Structure 1
Amino acid sequence: MGTRASCGELHTDSRSIGDTAQRRRGQQGARSPAAGAESTMAEQVALSRTQVCGILREELYQGDAFHQSDTHIFIIMGASGDLAKKKIYPTLWWLFRDGLLPEDTYIVGYARSRLSVADIRRQSEPFFKATPEEKPRLEEFFARNSYVAGQYDDAASYARLNSHMNALHQGPQANRLFYLALPPTVYEAVTKNIRETCMSRAGWNRVIVEKPFGRDLQSSDQLSNHISSLFREDQIYRIDHYLGKEMVQNLMVLRFANRIFGPIWNRDNIACVILTFKEPFGTEGRGGYFDEFGIIRDVMQNHLLQMLCLVAMEKPASTDSDDVRDEKVKVLKCISEVQASNVVLGQYVGNPNGEGEATRGYLDDPTVPCGSTTATFAAVVLYVENERWDGRAGPPGRPEGTALRQPAHAPSRPGPALSPRGALHPALRQSPERAQGRGAPAVPRRGRGHLPAAVQAQRAGDPRAARRGRVHQDDDQEARHVLQPRGVRAGPDLRQQIQEREAPRRLRAPHPGRL
């Protein structure tokens, strides 16, 4: 993992970035011994975004085949959708703005809607956070964008898309990356047409598949087998974009690099772990997609179970994706079958005291089928039955638990004390006042425009960081077993059981938000 954030300061173990920065300082000449520790601390200043991006570019382009000379085409399948406008287009803009994309890069949007680049810009630009000074660069970005409208199951549409991509470059080699920001119901048709019509003949090809990966275990296995029959495993990227968030990427460092947590991260000191996912908005026109999957398939089976694994798993042998995957699978196999009595489902209604969209409930969305019982809220209790977590939580003989709360004010310096200014009770000191052993160098306080190291690595295409955002087929299958019991335990669909039990007393959760 790239960073560890503690008490408002940033600690980094990103060696490549640190080594480059150190070489730069070395080129400026040796400092006099009189400067001492003060000069050393002066060097540890927060880097500006320009400096960070310059370091990243040096690391990125060092004689490697990432090459500015190659043509790269990024194809967004489902370019008119919510994910594309809120996440994909803004991320591509940030990479382009900071010079972290190859110079000869083109972005092609593809969807059924008849749109133009101007329409795509109008939808996505509010999420770009571009400053007035960046407007010229923004114009350059959209000049490299294009859009093709077509059906997802029509071979002629893909032939048109392929002709459009061939016209974008003059050289013999062009790499193509297909991002499937689509519901899994069309994955088979889309991947089949990509394979037959749109593959680059003189460059590499990649296919990024977004969650949810199938509707259930059976459809997930079927989809995996289908995609594997078309592409090599190294061409397939199953992505859970939630794993790319900085705090999620840093969970392993938070747990395993802080000695204070090692002896207390277990059933004897933690009564329970609550993972909460809330959004301040409703479906807002996405009812056609959401009603087919519901909240459990949309975020719980993927986002939240992946986070549960990071919180509950044992320390992996390394940060390699295969080692992390092995520990995740072990945790998922230890989760006992979900009982309907441990599940609560709900559906949000309009808030009469709200404004705008907040006054509309789920059933008020015109894209939602009339009378739909699809859950937009779900609360599930899971039990991890292994040595670390199994059994009664809390110290023996004590009926009450101890809650650790986030301090209102973080301390000014990092350290093992968890009771700054009396904000946290009881105070815990599980480690000595001074750290034992050498730690990572500190970079005092983030300055404006500072990029966390995890984000730096992700933007730079660090293969270790990129692989940690991938979801392997193994842990995807085990995650589905949690909410859909396997073998002889498989019975009626859990959702159906709960709906039958809850039908007389459906929970109606007020807008905004869904879990």
Structure 2
Amino acid sequence: MVSRVIPVDTFDLVIFGGTGDLARRKILPGLFRRFIAGQMTGESRVIGAARSELDDAGYRDLVCEAIAEFGGAEKDSGRLEEFLARLHYVPIDATGEGGWSDLRDLMRDGVVRAFYFSVAPSLFGALAERLHSNDVAGPDARIVVEKPFGRDLGGARELNATLASHFDERQIYRIDHYLGKETVQNLMAIRFGNVLFEPLWNSHYVDHIQITVAETVGVGGRGSYYDKSGAMRDMVQNHLMQLLCLIAMEPPSQFEADAVRDEKLKVIRALQPVEPHQIVRGQYDAAAGAASYREDAENPRSFTESFVALKLGISNLRWAGVPFYLRTGKKLKARSSEIAVVFKDLPHSMFEGDEKRHRNILSIRLQPNEGIDLQVTIKEPGPGGMRLVDVPLDMTFADALGDEAEAPDAYERLIMDVIRGNQTLFMRGDEVEAAWRWTDPIIEGWEARSDVPKLYEQGSSGPEDAQMLIHRDGRRWRDIRG
């Protein structure tokens, strides 16, 4: 199959923090890949803006190095030079007045204007204010805001109010790269595009749902940031919450931004409070030749969690009585992100002597090896009677779709959606605040109790208490596999 690439409108994309790590690793190489794919028109431009005193040539050298290191297989020198010619740079003072008139003079009329805030959240307000006061943005401009969207409900409200004082909600794109993954979007196609699944997507047929996001890396060089955040703020409140919303939401009336986000918001508002016995926090311990979390965070008395597992419920008709088990952590046994929908047992088995529990399980793999498989029960081949065995119906995208599986990186897709003006895969302000409204009491509860995270071995599946969280319900976590 041949992938269809639809060019976007001509744009000027300004990357604040254009010399930073995120820009070098993800944004700029991703834009180069979109250029190679033919999605960027020849007149589109990318403008880096940061404190560094560079000129256009110096910035192009920096971007060339970044693409060589992170840009993938596309190294055609002719196309690279063509892409670099579309790059510009403006030294700018995010909290002062330096460089803003130069940036204003560089912007063009009649093209899409987009501004990517690839900077610390403390600078979001200053950038929004100066874009407005210096007449750089304009009424149809779009701003892209990276997480964290606040540290708690109060911080989220303050950030939303600051952005809203200068931009309409239709102009604000709160980016969560998990929503740009091919499999996450395929989750909606599976649910709402197939008559096979939607009738079964409820408490009558689903026993429980597991969402796992496991990492093999530790906090490494970002220990000081992470120690003020932890797994609950860094992963559960946003990434896992978004996956939960997509798996649990009602069918939107149409595939349109506010229709989808309205249904996601209903899920968050229906989440039940989490009791202390329904959550487990952990910290990875030291291992042979590997530092502990506290050593990585350079905080010998840290109570911040690098792992969290929790059980929650949703108070609505569709999901009444169905538990959702979420877990995420660092330094685990494999890098793996998976949503598993575990269907109920048959009420009666007609096969005598078959004592094994056979369950249909729909597994959506987000990383690595993106794909979907459905575990079904069949007869084991060969003589000897009716012996049952479970096998997967596997649709690994790379195997099933060939060239089509070479999908854009999440950041590539989401940036192109910004240029199109499509907010479907971006979080709305009330959605962010609702997520914090549910999360804050959980964090406040363990802080009030002075809970200490459980230590767990590096390369394991997490603390033993996390296993008991689901075992006491007569269920088992799925194995974490890369």
Counterpart Cα distance in 1 of 2:34 and 2:127: 27
Equivalent position of 1:507 in the other structure: 455
Query: Distance in 2 between the 1:342 and 1:321 partners?
Result: 33
- 2:445 is matched with 494
Aligned to 2:440: 484
One-letter amino acid matched to 2:199 = P
Choose the corresponding residue for 2:125, options 161, 172, 188: 188
| Deviation string, structure 1 residues 379-429 (Cα, Å, up to 9, x no partner) | 12111122222226756999x97544579xxxxxx9999457859956899
For 2:122, the aligned partner's letter is T
* Alpha-carbon spacing, 1:458–1:345, altered in 2? closer, same or farther (3 Å): closer
- SS of corresponding position for 1:468: coil
Match of residue 223 from structure 1 = 159
Give the alignment of 1:208-247 within 5 angstroms. 208-247=144-183
Counterpart for residue 160 of structure 1: 99
Indicate conservation of the 8 Å contact 2:104/2:134, yes or no.
Answer: no
Q: Which of 63, 72, 76 matches 2:15?
A: 76
* Paired residue type of 2:293: Y
Q: 5+ unaligned residues in a row in structure 1: which ranges?
A: 1-45, 61-65, 354-358, 408-413, 430-443, 486-490
Going from structure 1 to structure 2, the CA distance change for 1:313 and 1:450 (only over 3 Å counts) comes to closer
Give the Cα separation in 2 of the matches to 1:292 and 1:212.
12
With over 3 angstroms needed to count, the CA separation of the structure-2 counterparts of 1:164 and 1:340, relative to structure 1, is same
Aligned to 1:178: 115
Question: Displacement of 1:247 after TM fit?
Answer: 0.8
Partner of residue 447 from structure 1, selected from 402, 417, 426: 402
Q: Supply the AA of the counterpart residue of 1:475.
A: E
Question: What residue number does 1:340 align with?
Answer: 276
Counterpart CA distance in 1 for 2:409 and 2:188 is 12
Matched letter for residue 362 of structure 1: Y
Structure 2 SS opposite 1:478: helix
Could you tell me how far apart the structure 2 residues matched to 1:452 and 1:421 are?
36
Look up the match of 2:184: 248
- Are 1:307 and 2:243 counterparts? yes
Q: Does 1:265 align with 2:215?
A: no
Asked if the contact 1:271–1:401 (Cα under 8 Å) also holds between the matched residues in 2, the reply is: no
Q: Which moved more, 1:448-457 or 1:472-481?
A: 448-457
- For 1:502, the aligned partner's letter is V
For 2:143, the aligned partner's letter is: V
Q: Is the 8 A contact 2:270 2:315 kept in 1?
A: yes
TM-score normalised by L of structure 1: 0.68
Instruction: Give the corresponding residue for 1:199.
Output: 136
Q: Is the 8 A contact 2:360 2:374 kept in 1?
A: no
Cα RMSD (Å) of the superposition?
Answer: 4.0
Identity of aligned residues (%): 31
Q: 2:47 aligns with which of 108, 114, 134?
A: 108
Measured in 1, the distance between the counterparts of 2:461 and 2:125 equals 32
In the alignment, is the contact (CA less than 8 A) between 1:347 and 1:374 conserved in 2? Answer: yes
Q: Structure 2 CA distance, aligned partners of 1:513 and 1:147?
A: 46
Structure 1 residues 278, 343: CA separation in 2 closer, same or farther (over 3 Å shift)?
Answer: same
How far did residue 473 of structure 1 move?
1.7
- Distance in 1 (CA, whole Å) between partners of 2:285 and 2:401 is 41
1:277 aligned counterpart, secondary structure: strand
Relative to structure 1, the CA distance from residue 94 to residue 138 in structure 2 (aligned partners, 3 Å threshold; closer, same or farther) is same
More helix by share: 1
The 1-side partners of 2:210 and 2:133 are apart by: 46
Cα distance in 2 for partners of 1:278, 1:102 equals 38
Q: Equivalent residue for 1:25?
A: none
> Residue type matched to 1:218 in 2?
G
SS in 2 for 1:238: strand
1:292 aligned counterpart, secondary structure: coil
Contact 2:29 2:71 in 1 (8 A): yes
Equivalent pair of 2:114/2:141 in contact (CA under 8 Å) = yes
Q: What is the deviation of 1:151?
A: 4.8
TM superposition shift of 1:238: 1.9
Identify the range of structure 1 (210-219 vs 260-269) with the bigger mean alpha-carbon deviation: 260-269
SS at match of 1:304: helix
Deviation at 1:288, TM superposition (A): 3.7
Distance across 2 between alignment mates of 1:240 and 1:404: 31
State how far apart, in whole Å, the 1-side matches of 2:233 and 2:390 are: 39
Q: CA deviation at 1:282?
A: 2.5
Contact 2:93 2:99 in 1 (8 A): no
Q: Which has the higher contact order (CA 8 A, sep 6+)?
A: 1
The one-letter amino acid paired with 1:196 is: S
Are residues 173 and 333 of structure 1, via their aligned partners in 2, closer, same or farther at CA, if it must alter by over 3 Å?
closer
* Alignment partners' CA distance in 2, 1:136 and 1:404: 51
Residue equivalent to 1:282: 218
Map of 1:325-474 to 2, 5 A cutoff? 325-352=261-288, 359-365=290-296, 368-369=298-299, 371-391=301-321, 394=344, 403-405=359-361, 418-419=376-377, 425=389, 445-448=400-403, 461=417, 466-474=422-430
**Does the 8 Å contact 2:417/2:423 carry over to 1?**
no
Q: Name the stretch that deviates more: 265-274 or 445-454.
A: 445-454
Give the TM-score taking structure 2 as reference length: 0.73
- Alpha-carbon separation, structure 2, partners of 1:512 and 1:259: 39
Q: Give SS of 1:163's match.
A: helix
Judge conservation of contact 2:360–2:375 (CA < 8 Å) in 1.
no
1:313, 1:330 within 8 Å by CA — same for their partners in 2? yes
Residue number in structure 2 paired with 1:138 = 80
Q: State the alpha-carbon separation in 2 of the partners of residues 417 and 513 from structure 1.
A: 22
In structure 2, what residue type is equivalent to 1:226?
T
From 68, 77, 86, the equivalent of 2:25 is 86
Stretch deviating more after TM superposition (101-110 or 471-480): 101-110
- C-alpha distance in structure 1 between counterparts of 2:234 and 2:181, whole Å: 17
Distance 1:237 1:463 in 2: 11
3-state SS, counterpart of residue 250 of structure 1: helix
Q: Which amino acid aligns with 2:87?
A: N
State the Cα distance separating 1:335 from its structure 2 match: 1.1
Q: Secondary structure at the match of 1:318?
A: coil
Deviations 1:444-487 (Å, cap 9, x if unpaired)?
942336656999986865999932211112222222222124xx
Q: Which amino acid aligns with 2:403?
A: R
How many residues of Structure 1 are paired with residues of Structure 2 in the alignment? 413
Structure 1 residue 281: Cα displacement: 2.1
1:215 positional shift: 0.9
